[in-house]
Each structure stands twice: as structure tokens, then as C-alpha cells.
Structure 1
Amino acid sequence: MTLPIIGPLQDFFASLPFPARLLAAVGLFTLLKPLYRLVRVLTDCYVLGGIPLATFGPSKNDPSKASWAVVTGATDGIGKEFALQLAKKGFNIVLASRTQSKLDAVESEISSSSSAQVKTVAINFLHATDADYKRLEAEISQLKLAVLVNNVGLSHDKPVLFSEGDVQEMEAIAEINVRATLRVTRLALPLLQQNKRSLILHLGSFAGSIPTPMLSTYAGTKAFLIGFNRALSYEVASKGVTSLLLNTYFVSTAMSKIRRSSWSVPTPKQYVAQTLAKLGRPGSCYEEDRRGREMTVWPQHALTEWAVREFVGLGRASGMSLKSQKVIRAKAIKREERLAKGQ
């Protein structure tokens, strides 16, 4: 059945001179391209599933035969939720974080909600020494390791111009976001490559893909993760390792300082569940890497990135971000002043 409008449109285009038809075709392509990409984004976020977790060897029936997952920064927010949900999916869990009492609490929570085996490693990634990393390596060296979640991270206390930033904060962000990720990935990778299929997840940020003024050190470390993951993913693909970067916008966590969740700001539980259901789906990461090494699959995050790339542009988005970061900094300073006065 032919739509009534098709015939008149064909006649109209046929009546145009060739240059006009060419311009009309270019214009139509320009209009349809963002729509086509939007359909792909929505399909990834709402319709298509990702790589099944079963690919990486969980075992709900027999924890002694299950694969293991290492989660860094595992006592709060997204990291804790990854540990809980992976345990419920049948993985045994290694929790690596700073405070032993918090590790014990998460271990207890996992044990009460699943049959997973749990190991804890207290390690302060800000001040971790070679001996600390060797201790972590020794704890996992005999395990059937199938998943690594590089979640541990640090951001600025509040937005600040790089020239005015605290040097210790700058170095701490680089130490945790870059060096810790490199060291943990390096010691885990030989074990991951022993399996036929294994998975690495790096917690990225929009600040890395859309340069964010007044969070320049944090943004730089997250941009590093993009390049590191792209290179690493090519190296390990032939060895059965899938390495993915999670391009993350606001989630209701202590780091984001957003207490109330919404459609645009998911809880860690919502965000992790969507991520695990969509492994390998690019979402709105369609320009640089449609093959799935990067993911933006929370719907509102994906729609925001799509709109920025199609209609705003990265340069203009950074300029707009500068204005918003100035406002956030001013509010943070006022809040600190009220607390100092005891109000």
C-alpha cells in the first residue's frame, strides 16, 4: 500500500532542476540523520539486551564453582551496588576498599541476600604501596576471576579553577582515578585472560567525554580512562576479555552530592541494573565507538548526550558547563559559610 503523499512528493522532486534536487537530498539527510541516531539510542536503552552475564560464568547453584568478581570502591554507591547485584547473579565477590568495618558490613549484606562467597581486602587506594597491591594480587591469584569493576574514584570537593585548586586534592584525584585503575587492571588482567570470557568495567563520566571547566583534574582523569579503555579493549579482545567504559552522568551518590533520585538521576541500584542488562550496548556513544567499548545506556543520560552531540556541540556544552559550575561553586561556598557559623 502506497501512502497518498508519496506520489506528489515524487512528482515535486522530479520537477526540480538537478542542483535543487541535490540540495533537497542533502537537507533531507541532514534532518533524518539525528532522527536515525535517536532511534538507535532508544533501541539500545529500551529494547535490545546486552551481553548476558551468564557468558562470564556465574553459578547460583554452586558458589564453589562460580566465577569471581573484583569490585573496587565497593562500600558505597555504585561500587557497593555492583557487588550486591553481581552476587545475586551468581558471582563470588572480592571487595576492595579503604575501611575494614565498611567492608565487613557489605560482606554481611551480601551474605544475607545471596549464597556468594566473599573476600575483603582493606586497601587505601590514595596511599596504596607496592606491598598493598601485592597483597591484593595474592588474595585473588588463585581465583577464577571473570569480572573486574574499576569503580573507585574521587572528584573535587567543589568546582574550582585549576590555577586556584588545592595541589593535594589534584594529586589525590590523579592517584585514585588513574594510578589505582592502572595498577588493579594490570594485576587482574592475567587472571581475566585465563578464562574464555571475562569482563572489565571502568566507571567513566560525562566530564571526560564533554570537557568540564572547574573540574579540570577530574575531567582529565576521566578522559584518560576513555583513551586507556579504547586501547586496552583492542589488546584483549582476541583473548576473550570485554573491556567497557561506562559513560556516566548524575547518579544519586555521595560523590555527586545528589540525595534525591529521579528519572534523570537514577539510584545506584537502578543504574547498575540497567548497566548489567545492557552490557556492550553503546546507547548514545555512537560516534566514536559504535562497536560497544563505551556505553551510555541510562535513558536520560543517553538522551542528554545525543542532544549535546547533535544540537549543542562539545565546545558550546563546555562553555555552558562553565557557567553552571560557577553557580555550583558559589552555592557550595555559601553552604560552608553557614555551617561554619553553626546555622
Structure 2
Amino acid sequence: MSSFSSDKFVQISQAGVFLLAVVGALTITVKTLSFWKLLFDLYIRPGKSLKKFGAGTGAWAVITGASDGIGKEFAYQLAAAKFNILLISRTASKLQDISNDIESKYQVESKIYAMDFTNGDKKDYENLKEIIERLDVGVLINNVATNHEIPTPFILESDEIIHNIVEVNISGLLRITKIILPRMLSSNRGLIINVGSFSGMIPTPYLSVYSASKAFMSTWSAALGAELKSKGIVVENVNTYFVVSAMSKIRRSSWLIPYPNPYVRSVLSKIGVPGGASYIPYSSNVYPSHAFINWIITNTFSWSFWVKKGLAQQENIRKRALKKREREAAAAKAQ
């Protein structure tokens, strides 16, 4: 009887080892196929042509946060693709300079509208609606956003900054899109690019409100994209890592952190291609270094690991930022 039980135990153990081996082999196979798909997306698979959305036919591209960084670069590259351009941002003088330069370089029309999205001014949105109702809008770039000044625990963050993030990153996003959608629906075509963030994918401590606003953008983009797909309108949440810009406070580029020009070029050349964000509906991540990091995050350690890593990173950034403020305050006092 004892021998029988021992043999049975060995058989069960062997079956368990076999099952684990099968699961392990399947996991490795799935990960390998996922990585090969990523390479196919990044280097072979073509994106949708901008002509599908009205390039060269007199259609307009509307860009928010258009005076600097990624938004400004979208304006130039879409103008080069022969879209007319409506620039929306806070500083009228910057917008006018960009408008004049775009018209001179690319022989397209351009308009500007200066507004501060933090105000949530009803009159601004009414004025924009009047302007947009007269345009054939083919592309909307929802780029405008604001962030915490430095990494800050939620309980210590000012009510003003919390309000501004919600007003700009969520309310402004919804209101602008609601104004423009009727123009796209009337022509049965359109492209909506929402400039998202890795912090919307991984909850980021000390940037909790900004992180949540970008998570909102990701979820909303997926829901809206499903609603509009049959209408000929493409919605993409672009899952962006760091790019050299005033908002990121990064001035030097690297393999992982590009200038806006190559980043935007990659986005516009791969419309409809998920890249590193293939597991999130209606999201994309096609700048190669960002896509590889995105793939590593989603295919290696647990979400808890990445949240803890983000916590340590933001705590370190906060300490350095506070020390910098102290030095600046001491220098100002010495003067």
C-alpha cells in the first residue's frame, strides 16, 4: 500500500512538472510572438495615410497647446502635409509667429486663438465653436496639458494646481473634442490624437492628479474610439514617455528622450499602429525607444513593482527640487 501511494505521488508530481513546463513554454511563446509583433509594427507595418483625413484637400488640423514642444511640432508637420492649421494656446504673440512662419513655408492657411485653458471660460469655447463651425476639420491634436510644478504628495498639493490639472487635462479635452466632432461626423472622416503619458498607464505617486488625468484620457480614448470607428473617425491615445520640452523640463535629448521633431514624425507615420501599447485599445506607442520600454513594462514585472519604482523615483526628484528651491531662496535673500 505504501509503495502504491509513493508511485502515485511520483505520477502526480511528474504531471505537475509537465503542466508547469507547458505553461512556461506557452508563456515564452506568447512573449516571443508579442515582441516580434512589436518589431513588425515599428519597422514594417505602414500607418494610415494622412490623405485619409483630408491632407491636401483644404481640410484643417486643430492643435491645442500649439505654441511650444510637441504641439508646435504637430502644427509644422501637419502644415507640411498640406493641412490648414488652427493654433490654440495661451500666448497670442507666440501663436502669431508660428502662424506667419507656417503660411510662409508651406503656403497653407492658418488661424490662431489665444486662450488660457485653466480659466475654463465659457466665452472662449463659444468663440472657438463659431470659428470651427466654418472649417472642414480633418485632424484634432489634443495636446494642451498642465502638470504638478514638482512631485508633491496629494495632501500637500495646492487647490489651485489640482483645479488647473483637472480643468485643462480633463474638462478642456472633453469640451474641445465635443466642439469639433460634429465637423468630422459631417464629412465621415477624422483623426483625433490625444497626447497621453506613461503616467496614465502606471499610477505615479507624487504626481497623482496628473497621472489620474492621463489615465482618464486613456480610458476615454478607448471608449470614444469604439463609438466612432464605424463613422470613419480614428481615435488614438498616444502613450508618450519623456520628450524634450518646457513641460518635461528636459533640455537634452538621448536615445530614450527625443526632440519633438522625430517623436511627432513617428506618430504621424504610424497612425493606426499600436506598437508598444498594443494591449490598450485605441492607444499607440511607436517611437522605438518608448515602444521598447512600454513592452518591457507590460511584459516583465508586476504593476506593484513599477508603482513602487515610480514612488522611489519621484521621492528622489522631489528631494532634489526642494533643495534647488532652498538654494534659490538663499541666493535671492543674499541679494
Given the two structures, how large is their TM-score scaled by the length of structure 1?
0.90
Alignment of 1:50 onto 2:47: yes
Give the aligned residue type for 1:152. V
Whether the 8 Å contact between 2:120 and 2:167 is mirrored in structure 1 is no
Secondary structure of the residue aligned to 2:62 is: strand
CA distance in 2, matches of 1:334, 1:208: 28
CA distance in 2, matches of 1:163, 1:275: 36
Give the aligned residue type for 1:145. V
CA distance in 2, matches of 1:304, 1:243: 23
RMSD: 1.4
Paired position in structure 2 for 1:264: 256
Paired position in structure 2 for 1:238: 230
Q: Residue 109 of structure 1: which of 101, 105, 108 is its match?
A: 101
CA distance in 2, matches of 1:259, 1:183: 32
Alignment of 1:320 onto 2:320: no
CA distance in 2, matches of 1:339, 1:85: 39
CA distance in 1, matches of 2:207, 2:166: 12
Shift of 1:74: 0.3
Shift of 1:21: 4.8
Q: Residue 115 of structure 2: which of 112, 117, 123 is its match?
A: 123
Give the aligned residue type for 1:43. F
CA distance in 2, matches of 1:279, 1:111: 25
Given the two structures, how large is their TM-score scaled by the length of structure 2?
0.92
CA distance in 2, matches of 1:199, 1:327: 39
Whether the 8 Å contact between 1:42 and 1:299 is mirrored in structure 2 is no
Paired position in structure 1 for 2:33: 36
Shift of 1:26: 2.2
- Over residues 183-214 of structure 1, what are the superposed CA-to-partner deviations in whole Å (9 max), with x where a residue is unaligned? 00001000011123210011111101111000
Alignment of 1:277 onto 2:269: yes
Structure 2 unaligned residues grouped into runs of 5+: 1-13
Q: Residue 280 of structure 2: which of 250, 274, 288 is its match?
A: 288
**Structure (1/2) with the larger helix percentage:** 2
Paired position in structure 1 for 2:80: 88
Q: Residue 27 of structure 1: which of 24, 28, 46 is its match?
A: 24
Secondary structure of the residue aligned to 1:214 is: coil
Paired position in structure 2 for 1:141: 133
Paired position in structure 1 for 2:146: 154
Percent of aligned pairs with the same residue?
Answer: 40
The number of residues matched between the two structures is: 319
CA distance in 2, matches of 1:128, 1:26: 53
Structure 1 unaligned residues grouped into runs of 5+: 1-16, 60-64
Secondary structure of the residue aligned to 1:287 is: coil
Paired position in structure 1 for 2:166: 174
Paired position in structure 2 for 1:132: 124
Paired position in structure 1 for 2:321: 332
CA distance in 2, matches of 1:240, 1:268: 28
Shift of 1:70: 0.4
Secondary structure of the residue aligned to 1:257 is: coil
Shift of 1:326: 0.5
CA distance in 1, matches of 2:294, 2:203: 13
Shift of 1:42: 1.8
Give the aligned residue type for 2:305. R
Give the aligned residue type for 1:184. I
Shift of 1:328: 0.5
Q: Residue 198 of structure 1: which of 178, 185, 190 is its match?
A: 190
